[in-house]
């Protein structure tokens, strides 16, 4: 693609200079531009390709109604609905090949909705004063969104903010030229895991599933990986999932910042996607390693994974809480769910004789699972550890059974 068209979105009444600067960079590099104004009160210095009135109308409102809210938040939500709807339609029509949006917290809020409306493989760039900020919840982040900090750009152009704006403009254009969108020629399996130090099943499962004609994507379940997995699951991107590393569920209910959001372990079920679920690292709560240990975990064992992540070992009562949370989520599923419960543990460190072995904690979790397993979930107990070959064999047996029965679409 030599001349991709980039949709440039922003409030042209207040950020005309910055948006026009990015537009100029894209055009200088040989790209095409379509501009969209999402401002409410003011007007751009020159007409945009898509006016604020068209955006409001697409969102089921008008600019007059948006102003009548007398509430900036509600007004911009009107504009966000319209901008997201229009961007999605423009992409379906083949009129845009990437999007870049500029804003502070208000513009970023809108930009996240727009990017979420576009499928994986469409370059999505947000230039924001709050990039990488904890203000942005994980469940608002699309699987392949890119962000760059709008440094020194709150009001007007300068050499510092131009450095950010020009990089972002070049990046989205380059991405639109270079992107290889996901192929749809094979059914796709989504799998959650951690690195081979902790969990190993994917080493054997991935090639075995590929030999059966399936494509496999393995997501690193450290918050953002689980977010990407859930984002795609919500779109119905997977033929089946092997959600074998549900640790982010525990992170969330224990109040960790390493979270994939409230909806972790629900989106595959909501779309009716068949689910195989297990207990990879279920017993650990990941915390931000460079922050002080929260007081509530002061008496628990801590494993320092590296300088970024520390993991707290759950108590028996916390493991029961984890079991209940998982069961509540599985109970919501509209499709088949099989829960594989390896009775000898869920990560390499909790094996018998391992540094994080806790027979009492494991027994508590198993007991709670047996009591709480929902009626819509098939429970299969395995006399092995999750990293043993028997676990892989059991997963493939269920999967092959689904395949033979026509469960996998």
- Spans of all domains in the chain: 5-178, 188-405
Q: From residue 109, how far is each of 20, 47, 77, 217 by CA, in Å?
A: 21, 24, 8, 29
How confident is the prediction for the chain on average, in pLDDT? 94
Q: From residue 81, how far is each of 54, 90, 124, 216, 261 by CA, in Å?
A: 12, 14, 17, 33, 22
Cβ atoms 124, 228 nearer than 8 A: no
Question: By percentage, how much of the chain surpasses pLDDT 90?
Answer: 85
Going by pLDDT thresholds of 50, 70 and 90, the confidence category of residue 138 is confident
Cβ atoms 153, 22 nearer than 8 A: no
* pLDDT of the residue at 155: 77
CATH 2.40.50.100 fits 5-178, yes or no: no
* pLDDT of the residue at 40: 94
What number is the average pLDDT over the span 129-140?
Answer: 87
What number is the average pLDDT over the span 196-210?
Answer: 96
Same fold flag, 5-178 and 188-405? yes
* pLDDT of the residue at 331: 98
Q: Is the pLDDT of residue 1 over 60?
A: no
For residues 85 and 362, give the distance between their C-alpha atoms in angstroms, rounded to a whole number. Answer: 48
Give the residue among 135, 154, 132, 134 at the shortest CA–CA distance from 145: 132
For residues 14 and 394, give the distance between their C-alpha atoms in angstroms, rounded to a whole number. Answer: 59
Residue ranges in 179-272 assigned as alpha helix (H)? 201-211, 224-234, 247-253, 267-270
What number is the average pLDDT over the span 281-295?
Answer: 92
Residues in contact with 297: Cβ distance below 8 Å, sequence separation at least 6, in sequence order: 285, 287, 312
Residues in contact with 298: Cβ distance below 8 Å, sequence separation at least 6, in sequence order: none
Going by pLDDT thresholds of 50, 70 and 90, the confidence category of residue 38 is very high
What number is the average pLDDT over the span 389-405?
Answer: 97
What number is the average pLDDT over the span 20-31?
Answer: 96
Going by pLDDT thresholds of 50, 70 and 90, the confidence category of residue 134 is confident
* pLDDT of the residue at 33: 98
Q: From residue 351, how far is each of 51, 85, 320, 355, 380 by CA, in Å?
A: 61, 50, 19, 8, 20
Residues in contact with 214: Cβ distance below 8 Å, sequence separation at least 6, in sequence order: 186, 187, 188, 189, 239
Q: Is the pLDDT of residue 271 over 90?
A: yes
Going by pLDDT thresholds of 50, 70 and 90, the confidence category of residue 2 is low
Going by pLDDT thresholds of 50, 70 and 90, the confidence category of residue 182 is confident
Q: Is the pLDDT of residue 51 over 80?
A: yes
* pLDDT of the residue at 303: 83
* pLDDT of the residue at 181: 84
What would the CATH number be for the domain defined by 188-405?
3.40.50.12030
DSSP 154-205: SSS--HHHHHHHHHHHHHHHHHHHH--PPP-SS-EEEEEE--TTT--HHHHH
Residues in contact with 31: Cβ distance below 8 Å, sequence separation at least 6, in sequence order: 3, 4, 5, 6, 173, 176
* pLDDT of the residue at 328: 98
Helix (H) or strand (E) holding 330: helix 316-331
């Amino acid at each position: 693609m030599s001349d991709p068209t980039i949709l440039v979105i922003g409030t042209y009444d207040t950020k005309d200079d910055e948006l026009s600067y990015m537009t100029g960079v894209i055009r200088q590099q040989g790209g095409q531009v379509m501009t969209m104004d999402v401002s409410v009160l003011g007007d751009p210095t020159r007409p945009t390709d898509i006016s604020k009135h068209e955006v409001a109308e697409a969102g089921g409102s008008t600019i007059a109604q948006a102003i009548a809210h007398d509430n900036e938040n509600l007004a911009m939500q009107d504009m966000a609905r319209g901008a997201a709807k229009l961007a999605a339609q423009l992409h379906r029509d083949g009129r845009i090949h990437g999007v870049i949006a500029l804003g502070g917290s208000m513009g970023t809020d809108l930009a996240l909705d727009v990017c979420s409306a576009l499928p994986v493989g469409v370059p999505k760039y947000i230039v924001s004063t709050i990039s990488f900020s904890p203000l942005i919840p994980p469940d608002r982040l699309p699987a392949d969104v890119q962000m760059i900090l709008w440094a020194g750009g709150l009001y007007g152009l300068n050499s510092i903010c131009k450095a950010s704006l020009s990089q972002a403009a070049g990046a989205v254009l380059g991405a639109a030229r270079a992107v290889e969108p996901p192929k749809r020629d094979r059914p796709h399996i989504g799998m959650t895991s951690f690195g081979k130090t902790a969990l190993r099943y994917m080493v054997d499962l991935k090639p075995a599933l590929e030999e059966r004609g399936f494509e496999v994507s393995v997501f690193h379940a450290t918050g953002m990986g689980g977010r990407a997995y859930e984002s795609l699951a919500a779109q119905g991107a997977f033929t089946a999932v092997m959600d074998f590393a549900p640790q982010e569920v525990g992170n969330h209910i224990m109040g960790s910042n390493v979270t994939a959001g409230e909806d972790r372990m629900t989106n595959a079920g909501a779309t009716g996607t068949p689910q195989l679920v297990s207990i990879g690292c279920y017993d650990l709560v990941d915390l931000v390693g460079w922050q002080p240990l929260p007081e509530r975990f002061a008496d628990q064992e801590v494993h320092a994974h590296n300088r970024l992540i520390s993991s707290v070992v759950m108590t028996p009562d916390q493991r029961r809480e984890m079991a209940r949370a998982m069961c509540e989520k599985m109970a919501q599923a509209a499709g088949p769910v099989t829960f594989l419960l390896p009775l000898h543990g869920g990560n390499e460190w909790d094996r018998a004789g391992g540094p994080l072995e806790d027979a009492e904690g494991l027994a508590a979790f198993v007991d709670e699972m047996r009591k709480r397993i929902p009626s819509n979930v098939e429970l299969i107990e395995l006399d092995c550890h999750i990293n043993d070959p028997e676990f892989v064999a059991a997963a493939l047996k269920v999967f092959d059974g689904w395949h033979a029965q026509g469960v996998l679409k």
